[in-house]
Structure 1
Amino acid sequence: MFSIKRKTKGEALFDLFNNFGMLLICFATMYPIWYVLVNAFNEGQDGMRGGIYWWPRVFSFESFTAVFQSSGIMGAMGITIAKTLLGTVLHVFFTAMVAYAFSRKGLIGGKIYILFGTVTLFFGGGLIPIYLLMRDLHLLDNFLVYIIPAMFSFFDLIIFMTFFRDIPDGLEEAAKIDGANDWSIFLKVILPVSMPVIATIALFHGVYQWNDYFAGVIYMNNMDLQPIQTYLYRVVAQSSSNQMLAAIPGGIGKSVTSQSIKLATMVVTTLPIVLVYPFLQKYFVKGMMIGSIKG
């Protein structure tokens, strides 16, 4: 017979307060998202009256229609998708390549490189020097400003390097016996067995690339090359509602307001990554545990 251990009053009280606290945290986290979603689907003029908290009072798609008819949002979405895909692939490959070299015991000066890289985790050059560097590299108003500076991350290198060091040496030795060089070993042996850490880093950097608006604000004056998050930033920060509505072609109903367009734009720009992230969350957890337990 199995005995069921009963909780003491103190343990039961702790569980009660713990669960209540977690529910409050979940509510405080999720409700602002729900509030934006509800008001985005509400008719604009009616939404100006306020009092909409849980469900649209007058359901309407006109704000979303206005957003998708905007001359800039579809181009900005294309730039974001392009920089997210290209930036993630190059970041993962380049960082993994450097991490593989760092993980080898025979690397000359490896400890010095690690020391220099660790310093960059705590100290940065500052915005002005980085801006001047981007200018001298002719990356201002250039799509590559989203890609090249983000191709390498020392933090991600540490995760890669820890994983690579746990790969059995026998795999590389067998490949060398078969005549494989370092490139062949890296591409045909190391990367195929490293899919968990690759998926983790891809998740890290993909979310960063999608959410990054700062590079577009600082380095990009060409509106045709702005990403969707920069577009959202400028929509939300727009001081003149007349200028915002002027960017939308005619045919939109009178119910659309600048506030409803802002809310709809927030939903359009954040919903894709919100829908994708839960499916990749398991890789995020696995990646954070890489190297933390030794057999």
Structure 2
Amino acid sequence: MLSRKRQTGGDVAFDWFNIATMLLVCFATLYPIWYVLVNSFNEGKDAMSGGNIYWVPRVFSFENYSTVFKNDGIMLAMWITVAKTILGTVIHVFFTAMVAFAYSRKELIGRNFYMIVGTITMFFGGGLIPTYLWFRDLHLLDTFSVYIYPAMFSFFDLIIFLAFFREIPDGLEEAAKIDGAGYFATFVKIVLPISMPVVATIALFHGVWQWNDYFTGLLFINDPDLQPIQTFLYRVIAQSSSNQIVGTVGGAINRTVTSQSIKLATMVITTFPIVIAYPFLQKYFVKGLMIGSIKG
């Protein structure tokens, strides 16, 4: 049997230092989330008057969440967010993968030129005003399409797809050609099904971005019925008057809630779905980042 290497005093001290450092980092990362959660379940007036609520609610109450859910606007905003996240992610993954498959073809004319142009777009953009004018000319302002069409393609995601596609054996595509399959059929029936790890990775990337995106709704949407939940949350937090916030969210002023408690409850509601989904997809996230980094 192999004997375990004996650790010196310095090694033990270094291990304990690493453990203590990581515990401190974990605490600094997780405690703010716990603080928001605890205070969102505490009665708003009590939290404002008493303060010092750090670990458990002092006066437990669901009134903050009840006040938020009584408002039809937040539920509509939640549905808009869910719809744009699902639809936008599916379209983005399929379209970006399809373009990446075309880039991976050696017979593609001008492939190197397209790669240069695409790489430039990763570092330089047109700016906010040209983007706004472009969306206006395309009649995307105040439409649901503004969440979908501009986000259909990402060159960064294309590079990840491209690294994966280059590792697919040529024999699979040659067999598909012998059976009479064209490029699109080969992509849909052969390439895409065996690319689920990278598909899940890009879906996670873009899905998290779609869910957290408030900037698009803030700049390009004026219709309150089309704003996503993150834009709704931003506008709630941006309110300056306590009564104005509670009136906006709850529809009527409630004496047990405050602007701060409404903010915290809304933050928990908007972040809860993505926090729950992320751990289940993390393994694909890590695997996707490693794609193409090691060649066998």
TM-score (norm 2): 0.97
Whether 2:209 is the aligned partner of 1:217: answer no
- 1:71 is displaced (CA, Å) by 2.7
The residue type equivalent to 1:24 in the other structure is: L
SS at match of 2:72: coil
Determine the C-alpha separation between the residues in 1 that align with 2:186 and 2:276: 36
1:252-263 equivalences under 5 Å are 253-263=254-264
Tell me what 2:26 maps to. Answer: 26
Tell me what 1:155 maps to. Answer: 156
- 1:134 is displaced (CA, Å) by 0.9
The residue type equivalent to 1:229 in the other structure is: Q
The residue type equivalent to 1:29 in the other structure is: T
SS at match of 1:3: coil
The residue type equivalent to 2:6 in the other structure is: R
Tell me what 2:279 maps to. Answer: 278
- CA deviation digits over 1:167-224, x for unaligned, max 9? 0000010011111111110110111111111011000000000000000111111111
The residue type equivalent to 1:13 in the other structure is: A
Of stretches 2-11 and 88-97 in structure 1, the one that deviates more from structure 2 is: 2-11
- 1:19 is displaced (CA, Å) by 1.3
- CA deviation digits over 1:86-108, x for unaligned, max 9? 00000000000000000111110
Alignment RMSD: 1.0
- 1:131 is displaced (CA, Å) by 1.1
Determine the C-alpha separation between the residues in 2 that align with 1:255 and 1:200: 43
Determine the C-alpha separation between the residues in 2 that align with 1:33 and 1:131: 35
Whether 2:186 is the aligned partner of 1:181: answer no
Tell me what 2:101 maps to. Answer: 100
Tell me what 2:54 maps to. Answer: 53
**Could you tell me which of 233, 242, 251 is aligned with 1:249?**
251
Whether 2:138 is the aligned partner of 1:137: answer yes
Tell me what 1:199 maps to. Answer: 200
Determine the C-alpha separation between the residues in 2 that align with 1:99 and 1:15: 44
- 1:243 is displaced (CA, Å) by 1.8
The percentage of counterpart residues that share the same residue type is 71
Tell me what 2:172 maps to. Answer: 171
- CA deviation digits over 1:80-131, x for unaligned, max 9? 0000000000000000000000011111000000001111111111111111
Gap regions ≥5 residues in structure 1: none
1:282-293 equivalences under 5 Å are 282-293=283-294
Of stretches 147-156 and 120-129 in structure 1, the one that deviates more from structure 2 is: 120-129
SS at match of 1:291: coil
CA contact (8 A) 2:246 2:254 kept: no
- 1:2 is displaced (CA, Å) by 3.1
Determine the C-alpha separation between the residues in 2 that align with 1:199 and 1:219: 29
Gap regions ≥5 residues in structure 2: none
CA contact (8 A) 2:81 2:229 kept: yes
Determine the C-alpha separation between the residues in 2 that align with 1:54 and 1:97: 49
Determine the C-alpha separation between the residues in 2 that align with 1:58 and 1:169: 65
Tell me what 1:239 maps to. Answer: 240
Determine the C-alpha separation between the residues in 2 that align with 1:230 and 1:11: 50
| Aligned residue-pair number | 294
CA contact (8 A) 2:214 2:230 kept: yes
SS at match of 2:288: helix
Determine the C-alpha separation between the residues in 2 that align with 1:15 and 1:132: 57
SS at match of 1:72: helix
Question: What stretches of structure 1 move > 3 A for 4+ residues in a row?
Answer: none
